[in-house]
Amino acid sequence: MKAARLHGVKDIRVETAPDPTPDADQILLATRAVTVCGSDLHYYLEGAIGSDRPNEPHILGHEFAAEVMEDGPLPKGTLVAVDPNRACGACEWCAEGHPNLCPNVKFSGVPPYHGALAEYVVARPEEIVAVPESFTPTDAAMLEPLGVALHALDLAHLRPLDSVGVVGCGPIGLLVLQVAGASGAGLRVVVDPIPERRELALRLGAEHAFASVDEAKDALGPRGVDVVIEATDAQRGPEDAAKLTRIGGKLVLVGIPEGNRFSMDAALVRRKGLTIKMARRMGHVYPRAIELVERKLVTFEPLVTHRFSLDESPRAFELQASRADGVIKSSVEL
């Protein structure tokens, strides 16, 4: 089959790769859309995330939609979203209902497991979710980052009218912003250095958009906001987000920092008595993610700014990494 494979830093080649062979409990699916994630960009720009480093040409892509190829539990031609998180189902954390924390997980696109930037993928029936007919393949792929945004707010235990700050207005931040609105948030404030991203955030429900946390604090006063979600790829992102959080407030860290490190001023977070949570992927959130879109509480339309063919995958990554041309999310459509 044709696949886009990462050979090294900034080196993606579209070439022939072996077809995936389904295990007895898996079915073969035809890929229809793959959206490029910030986590994919770490592999693209740095070659690794922490200890996860591919040793051979690697197929990225974990936000994807596919089509059922043979009649089975779902009829042939059904468009499905695929949960990339294949948890073991047997460990202590799976048993507790936290498959996102499973240490034995086989996650699509995380080496050594190939992702979806290819003509075919395999999945177990319980990992696939049929989507409403109104969904495009890219809509279905976007359910994965929407699920990440939902899980981040689940961790925050948002109360009605809590003020919410979003630091980083990439796709995840802009989805968090929308889900916070749907969840009864009060004042919504965003911080991002890119003007187009701030403008889009204002269109999607933010009341204020600032280029930096210092600017936000100057304008809003010293109190800060109740709940802050950090969704940057910057090492300073978590500390910035902590500065924006009120005394006794909650901070959820979703972003993956460049170089796999971040640091925070200890006195800042200690004196405020912050509750800090690390978001790790998501749990079983697809049904709510689908309903958010069906009820038009979340829109993907302004977020998916660029579309590419599988052959153009290298350009999709180049553009997404450059943040040029107003890009928010690139989708590779097959």
Per CB under 5 A, residues contacting Zn ion are 37, 39, 87-88, 91, 94, 102, 104
**Which residues are CB-contacts of 268 (< 8 A; sequence separation ≥ 6)?**
239, 242, 243
User: Least distance to Zn ion from the beta carbon of 203, Å?
Assistant: 23
Question: Helices 137-156 and 171-182 meet at what angle, rounded to 10?
Answer: 70
* For Zn ion, the closer CB: 3 or 37: 37
Token pair, residue 170, equals 């990439």
Shortest distance in whole angstroms from residue 60 CB to Zn ion: 10
- Contacts of 136-140 with CB under 8 Å at 24 or more apart are 136/33, 137/32, 137/33, 137/65, 137/79, 137/333, 137/334, 138/33, 138/35, 138/65, 138/300, 138/304, 138/307, 138/331, 138/333, 139/65, 139/293, 139/300, 140/32, 140/33, 140/65, 140/79, 140/80, 140/81
Q: Residues 224, 228, 233, 239: is their CA dihedral positive or negative?
A: positive
For the CB of residue 233, give the shortest distance to Zn ion in the complex, in Å. 12
Residue (145 or 224) nearer to Zn ion, CB: 145
* Closest CB 256 distance from Zn ion, rounded Å: 9
For the CB of residue 129, give the shortest distance to Zn ion in the complex, in Å: 16
